[in-house]
Amino acid sequence: MLQISDLQLKSLTELHEMLGAKREELRALRFSVSENQLKNVRGIRDVRRDIARILSAINTKHVNASQA
């Protein structure tokens, strides 16, 4: 699980790379659920929340940059 304080220290390019990786992880988890291979379905929820945290950090950086 990602921490907001850790995300705030990263640059926009790092955040976008992390976002792509988490989206790919979510895609893989969804496929494994559909094939009945995944036992821990909660992992999908955790990845979705991580994606939301990353998107919030990206949005915060964009808002702060436009105000400056």
11-66 pLDDT, tens digit each? 999 999 999 999 999 999 999 998 888 888 899 999 999 999 999 999 999 999 88
Question: In terms of residue numbers, what domain contains 33?
Answer: 4-67
Q: State residue 51's pLDDT score.
A: 98
Domain with residue 24: its CATH number is: 1.10.287
Total domains, the chain: 1
Beta carbons of 38 and 32 less than 8 angstroms apart:
yes
Read off the amino acid at residue 33.
V
Whether the CB-CB separation of 24 and 32 falls below 8 Å is answered with no
2-24 CB burial, b ≥16 within 10 A, e <16: beeeebeebeeeebeebbeebee
Ramachandran category for residue 36: left, alpha or beta (phi over 0 → left; psi -120 to 50 → alpha): left
